[in-house]
Structure 1
Amino acid sequence: MSEVLNVEEIFGSKVFTLGKMRERLPKSVYKEVKKIIDHGGELSLATADVVAKAMKDWAVENGATHYTHWFQPLTGITAEKHDAFVTHPDESGKMIMEFSGKELIKGEPDASSFPSGGLRATFEARGYTAWDITSPAFLKEDATGVILCIPTAFCSYKGEALDKKTPLLRSMEAVSTQALRIVRLFGNTEATKVVASVGPEQEYFLVDRDKYLKREDLIFAGRTLFGAPAPKGQELEDHYFGTIRERIGSFMKDLNIELWKLGVTAKTQHNEVAPAQHELAPIYETANIAVDHNQLVMETMKKVAGRHGMTCLLHEKPFAGVNGSGKHNNWSLGTDNGVNLLDPGDTPNENIQFLLVLACILKAVDTHADLLRQSASDVGNDHRLGANEAPPAIISVFLGEQLEDVVKQLVETGDATHSIQGGKLLTGVSTLPDLDKDATDRNRTSPFAFTGNKFEFRMVGSADSIASPNTTLNAIVAEAFCEAADLLEKADDFDIAVHDLIKKYLTEHQRIIFNGNGYSEEWVEEAARRGLPNIKSMVEASETLTTEKSIKLFEKFGIFTKAELESREEVLYETYSKTINIEALTMVDMAKKQYIPAVMEYTKTLADTVLAVKSAGADATVQTTALKSISEKLAEAQAAETSLEDKLAEAAGIEDPKKLAFFYKDVVHTAMDDLRAPVDALEMMVDKKVWPVPTYGDLIFEV
């Protein structure tokens, strides 16, 4: 019998929570910290010293020897540099553990080796980390020991943001400021801020670690660059929500425990659509804490998987032919006095504040569909978006029958007199209860779907940081709120003005609403007729960051400067090129050292068999045909491998980052596909005993 787990006792045990602050800090210091967390401001150095000592004492009591400023550079993952709590020994030789307020508030990691897109020259090394007081410090244990991790922002010597967190925090302040103007118009004077809340659902694959280590492509690229489909995939739909196997269940149990200790509200777990694919979903949190926690979720998944003899794959498309992984970004806005701005209520047609907020969001998404698409772009997501397993690359908004009907009434008549109600779902079984039915169905093909009291942005990639999409969401909605408030605050008759503005926004931006099948070709054609952008790749999306419209948006609210946007565009081009280059080099290495030699050896065996059969006077037609077919595919693979090397050599001569990225997308990637095709065909022709790597069947069905 397994031991009883006390979740309430372990939850947040590795986090320096507000509760622990309240216990350990003088009342006046705690009040100052809480005030800054809630309303902004700057700690005095004297107060920071008190907080630092309390934080250090708690960490040391829990085994910590080092601290780190934990930050999120433009790599999309986290970074940390560990410093011990030690100082010079005293006169008696006794070591004293110290941690000052200055060390808590500011750190100084080297900024020269992180992506900066030209913001920092190689010789310009200085960078700063600044404590994000709104995200709690936590303890992380690894082979080096227990580390106190202090969430921080990361900027250059000149103040440019070199990370994902700084723009996110700026965007949260922007949307709060502008949303407050909206709620004030409706008489809510008690709210002091509006909080962007996020709940990211995380999809992932688990494979056996021993098999993983035999696949060079999984090690270097995070996805299979070669691989024929297994005889069975996901077509029987028997994995989704299926019984969780014992080995996976053991992993999930340990994962939950580790996450709960870190204060991550891991709530839902289940098998996903593809074999070996699973999902974890947390409860909503403030956007920047949700971003921090999602990074911890991904990191902890990899760590715990290793303990169970498995490897966690977070790539968006680790296996061809089965569903890839995404990260559904559930986003909402609420005041600090408990009002969810996206709650339509029982009669949304009468909820004027909700209708204005909805109209502003539709305006924001339509106006900046290109930017929203860009925010979900990464190299792996190019394999997933628009592949009839994830939302299409075209941005549209699903509202559902109830809200679509309300919008239609407002657009056509200027007044919404009623709203569709959910009613009862009759089960037809006497022992089952009749269920209250929602007023609308859900739509899994929509990239941006309203799901009751939030929007679900379904395009985000599974390995990507959720900081960028939430920064963009906050920014574009802040702009729409600002423009609406500018008009309504000076209106002579507010009731008439808000009614007219809602109708105007809904009429002008109704093209973004689509409740149908986003996977259909008909929608692609319809979207083109509506003038909606269809940006199919990360490379094409990157330039949307630096359009005049985008620069105006981000500079208006102080989220990005033009230079910061240009740097990010360059980082995206470089990231794409470097990633595809690594994948291509891995393919060349595997083809030359594994696949081609293995098949050559096999053809020798076949040739010997042909000669032996013929010398015995028997019919060798089957053996001869097999040898000829395999030899033809082998020659095709060899030619394709040579061609890929030639294309890589050509790429090495291109200096312009944008031209290089497009070359990798249009030329190198095509050459990679040309090499994969014959190798995958050979996998289906060659004896499994001589195939040099584990197959799809080995990887996704033997976990």
Structure 2
Amino acid sequence: MAEKLTEIFGADVFNEATMTERLPKKVFAALKKTIKNGEELDPEIADIVANAMKDWAIERGATHYTHWFQPMTGITAEKHDSFINPTSDGKIILEFSGKELIKGEPDASSFPSGGLRATFEARGYTAWDCTSPAFLREDAAGVTLCIPTAFCSYTGEALDKKTPLLRSMEAISDQAVRILKLFGHDEVKSVSCSVGPEQEYFIIDKAKYLKREDLIFTGRTLFGAQPPKGQEMEDHYFGSLKERIASFMKEVNEECWKLGILAKTQHNEVAPAQHELAPIYSTANIATDHNQLVMEIMKKVANRHGLVCLLHEKPFAGVNGSGKHDNWSIVTDTGKNLLDPGKTPHENIQFLLVLTAVIKAVDENADLLRLSASNAGNDHRLGANEAPPAIISIFLGEQLEDVVKQLVETGDAKSSKQGGKLNIGVHTLPELKKDATDRNRTSPFAFTGNKFEFRMVGSSMSIAGPNTTLNTIVADALCEFADELEGAEDFDIAVHDLIKKTLTEHQRIIFNGNGYSDEWVEEAERRGLPNLRSLVEAIPAMTSERAIKIFSKFNVLSEVELHSRAEIEFEAYSKTINIEAKTMIEMANKLFIPAAIKYASGLAGSINTIKAAVPSVDVSVQEGLLKETSSLLATAKASLDKLQAAVAEAAEKEGQEQAVFFKKSVFPIMDELRKPIDALELIVDKEIWPVPTYGDLLFEV
């Protein structure tokens, strides 16, 4: 398998190795300059690249190509075109031009635009992102050459998630290079953000999934009583893989490796039926492309195995939901990680300045960072005893917290705590080198050695948004630092004073304690940290004066683009809750209430039959069950009527008003309806209950 792995890795990618083989040296050198330095690509070179790409794809069985892009839906989109062109003799030739490689024209009218485009205005453009390699994908449609692209409107606004990401990557690179030059690193020409997203997901049996309308329509269970066993025994986490799951993971890995995706880690997660896949780090835009592909691959491979992959943040109540830990760091083109503290971080002034910039950025823009990790599904997860709270804070660990404390209190850091050795107490076991800092799984934004782990991101989300925000806000902090330091008479004194002053002003964002505790919520409020409990509360941050200033300053998103995205977010939330509410109404009306009535009717018939046969027999048990069932039925019907009325009222509203109404008025009634139905599930015969239970879904794979 090891030999096979080295052969298949990247086999379906038009990567650097393939380009070296197939492109003339001058063409390859010119393309490398474009990729590395952002230089404009000569159209003649594009023609040569396109022809080589086409020949490579056709040799591998490709008949079509597509500009693969990431609209505001959060998933990917594609329109396939074949390579065929007619000839005068009635036959065809296979062609692919540089123009077709560089530019595509999909219909933009049906994608979310937040008012940027009217329905009748259909034109949009896709533009080749040459920094992310093209790849081949094989499915029932055959082999398709996929070309990663950005997507914009006819009037130039970004209609996708990749364009702002690419802009933010340029912004942080420019500002970080300014800082590095002040430290004498003139050899550094660019800086990239390195990202590794850990992907959590659930796997359930497909046959059972198809019997649950809520899972089909919404991705989560809207009803479901707790099974006798959940995750309380903690026996699933890192447990041995079931054969069916192991077979699924094996195929997922192979599919990933062929596409050059550095799938590294796989294991069982905390909740039953929950698992995780983690990659090695890649440049932010490539990591984003790869993560979108990972989610697609997991869904397709699961289907082949008679399984279903659930990426919703909270598919099952009462057990852990799924996140996507976004591990983020900053790396120079010379290979230096700017977030590597070294052995003595108190002496590493360059690291401390970059760290201080991140602390400042997160504190000043906590609302934007919270929004970047928000969707309707994640509202169920954030703040529960399984995930980071909705309050943004930074965990630095004992070592760096001590350094920060020294700088704030005395103005000078003279030491760094060291990890030492860990003696396990068994002579045959080796003495282990101990890290200077423990980890904190309750922190939403934690420093973990040489990177920050943004743990709030939802499992179904594109990582483009969180990384766009991170890049932009840190670029802004670095820009402010560079503006101040470039004019300093004595750089050493100025950088020291700047670090001390900034850490003093923003130390409130640092919290190393238990983020799940009620005490932290109270403490955060005293510190003045925002606690945005839901997506609806967070969206207005996108159009705040500060957000407009920062995103416009670096040309990441214009004011118009920000307003459009806010509108898209409100609309997406309303649509999500509307679909969930309507699904609940249908399931309650057509499945659960009829099943409970059937059960009650059976009880009533049984009571009457027994009383008729032997009047003296005690039927109090049956009568008690009938009374309880009837009471729950009445409660469920009352909540159902309220939900139908609320959904109808919501339809009369729009925009932010509608989203707020869904959150405050519709969502609570959905919870009301769920409670009596879940209680009925625990009473009604399993043979009568119309859908697979949590026990069936979580434990029978």
Q: What is the TM-score with the length of structure 1 in the denominator?
A: 0.99
The 5 A counterparts of 1:234-253 are 234-253=231-250
Instruction: Find the partner of 2:340 among 335, 343, 357.
Output: 343
- SS of equivalent to 2:86: coil
Residue 155 of structure 2 corresponds to residue 158 of structure 1? yes
Task: Tell me how far apart the structure 2 counterparts of residues 190 and 94 of structure 1 sit (CA, whole Å).
Answer: 55
- SS of equivalent to 2:674: helix
Instruction: Find the partner of 2:56 among 41, 55, 58.
Output: 58
2:684 maps to what in 1? Answer: 686
2:548 maps to what in 1? Answer: 551
1:237 maps to amino acid: E
1:453 maps to what in 2? Answer: 450
Instruction: Find the partner of 2:570 among 554, 569, 573.
Output: 573
2:642 maps to what in 1? Answer: 643
2:499 maps to what in 1? Answer: 502
Task: Tell me how far apart the structure 2 counterparts of residues 110 and 23 of structure 1 sit (CA, whole Å).
Answer: 36
The 5 A counterparts of 1:559-638 are 559-615=556-612, 616-617=614-615, 618-638=617-637
Task: Spell out, residue by residue over 1:589-638, the C-alpha distance to the aligned partner (whole angstroms, 9 max, x if none).
Answer: 11111111111111111100011121222111100110010011011111
Residue 520 of structure 2 corresponds to residue 519 of structure 1? no
Task: Tell me how far apart the structure 2 counterparts of residues 639 and 148 of structure 1 sit (CA, whole Å).
Answer: 54
1:273 maps to what in 2? Answer: 270
Deviation at 1:471, TM superposition (A): 0.1
- SS of equivalent to 2:85: coil
Task: Spell out, residue by residue over 1:518-568, the C-alpha distance to the aligned partner (whole angstroms, 9 max, x if none).
Answer: 000000000000000000000110110000000000000000000000000
1:248 maps to amino acid: I
Residue 447 of structure 2 corresponds to residue 430 of structure 1? no
Task: Tell me how far apart the structure 2 counterparts of residues 443 and 503 of structure 1 sit (CA, whole Å).
Answer: 25
The 5 A counterparts of 1:99-178 are 99-178=96-175
Task: Tell me how far apart the structure 2 counterparts of residues 51 and 526 of structure 1 sit (CA, whole Å).
Answer: 58
The 5 A counterparts of 1:281-320 are 281-320=278-317
Deviation at 1:90, TM superposition (A): 3.9
- Deviation >3 Å, runs of 4+: none
Deviation at 1:4, TM superposition (A): 6.8
2:669 maps to what in 1? Answer: 671
Task: Tell me how far apart the structure 2 counterparts of residues 127 and 535 of structure 1 sit (CA, whole Å).
Answer: 35
- SS of equivalent to 1:690: coil
RMSD: 0.7
Higher mean alpha-carbon deviation, 19-28 vs 3-12, is at 3-12
- SS of equivalent to 2:327: strand
Task: Tell me how far apart the structure 1 counterparts of residues 116 and 66 of structure 2 sit (CA, whole Å).
Answer: 24
2:478 maps to what in 1? Answer: 481
Task: Spell out, residue by residue over 1:120-164, the C-alpha distance to the aligned partner (whole angstroms, 9 max, x if none).
Answer: 001000000000000000011121111100000000000000000
Task: Spell out, residue by residue over 1:487-533, the C-alpha distance to the aligned partner (whole angstroms, 9 max, x if none).
Answer: 00110000000000000111000000000000000000000000000
2:695 maps to amino acid: G
Task: Report % sequence identity.
Answer: 71
Deviation at 1:89, TM superposition (A): 3.0
Residue 693 of structure 2 corresponds to residue 695 of structure 1? yes
Task: Spell out, residue by residue over 1:5-45, the C-alpha distance to the aligned partner (whole angstroms, 9 max, x if none).
Answer: 61110000110001111110111100000110000022121
1:690 maps to amino acid: I
Task: Tell me how far apart the structure 2 counterparts of residues 635 and 7 of structure 1 sit (CA, whole Å).
Answer: 60
- SS of equivalent to 1:196: strand
- SS of equivalent to 1:689: coil
Deviation at 1:652, TM superposition (A): 1.1
Task: Tell me how far apart the structure 2 counterparts of residues 387 and 253 of structure 1 sit (CA, whole Å).
Answer: 32
Higher mean alpha-carbon deviation, 265-274 vs 140-149, is at 140-149
Task: Tell me how far apart the structure 2 counterparts of residues 434 and 5 of structure 1 sit (CA, whole Å).
Answer: 34
Instruction: Find the partner of 1:47 among 37, 45, 48.
Output: 45
1:644 maps to amino acid: L
Task: Tell me how far apart the structure 2 counterparts of residues 230 and 255 of structure 1 sit (CA, whole Å).
Answer: 30
The 5 A counterparts of 1:330-479 are 330-479=327-476
Task: Tell me how far apart the structure 1 counterparts of residues 40 and 117 of structure 2 sit (CA, whole Å).
Answer: 27
Task: Spell out, residue by residue over 1:184-222, the C-alpha distance to the aligned partner (whole angstroms, 9 max, x if none).
Answer: 111111111011010000000000000000000000000
2:28 maps to amino acid: Y
- SS of equivalent to 1:141: strand
The 5 A counterparts of 1:21-40 are 21-40=19-38
2:197 maps to amino acid: P
- SS of equivalent to 1:96: strand
1:669 maps to amino acid: F
Task: Tell me how far apart the structure 1 counterparts of residues 282 and 688 of structure 2 sit (CA, whole Å).
Answer: 51
Task: Tell me how far apart the structure 1 counterparts of residues 88 and 182 of structure 2 sit (CA, whole Å).
Answer: 62
- SS of equivalent to 1:192: coil
8 Å contact from structure 1 (residues 199, 329) kept in 2:
yes
- SS of equivalent to 1:344: coil
Deviation at 1:94, TM superposition (A): 2.9
Deviation at 1:372, TM superposition (A): 0.3
Task: Tell me how far apart the structure 2 counterparts of residues 283 and 413 of structure 1 sit (CA, whole Å).
Answer: 40
1:78 maps to what in 2? Answer: 76
Unpaired segments of 5 or more residues in structure 2? Answer: none
8 Å contact from structure 1 (residues 613, 619) kept in 2:
no
1:31 to 1:4, Cα distance in 2 relative to 1, 3 A: closer
Task: Spell out, residue by residue over 1:86-128, the C-alpha distance to the aligned partner (whole angstroms, 9 max, x if none).
Answer: 001342x332000000000000000000000000001000000
8 Å contact from structure 1 (residues 194, 333) kept in 2:
yes
1:193 maps to what in 2? Answer: 190
Deviation at 1:654, TM superposition (A): 1.0
1:659 maps to what in 2? Answer: 657
Task: Spell out, residue by residue over 1:375-414, the C-alpha distance to the aligned partner (whole angstroms, 9 max, x if none).
Answer: 0010100000001100000000000000000000000000
1:677 maps to amino acid: K
Task: Tell me how far apart the structure 2 counterparts of residues 662 and 5 of structure 1 sit (CA, whole Å).
Answer: 56
Residue 96 of structure 2 corresponds to residue 96 of structure 1? no
8 Å contact from structure 1 (residues 335, 341) kept in 2:
yes
Unpaired segments of 5 or more residues in structure 1? Answer: none
8 Å contact from structure 1 (residues 90, 96) kept in 2:
no
- SS of equivalent to 1:580: helix
- SS of equivalent to 2:84: coil
Task: Tell me how far apart the structure 2 counterparts of residues 53 and 341 of structure 1 sit (CA, whole Å).
Answer: 39
Task: Tell me how far apart the structure 2 counterparts of residues 596 and 446 of structure 1 sit (CA, whole Å).
Answer: 42
Deviation at 1:643, TM superposition (A): 1.0
Task: Tell me how far apart the structure 2 counterparts of residues 351 and 369 of structure 1 sit (CA, whole Å).
Answer: 26
1:485 maps to amino acid: A
1:702 maps to amino acid: E
- SS of equivalent to 2:687: helix
2:633 maps to amino acid: L
- SS of equivalent to 2:226: coil
- SS of equivalent to 1:111: coil
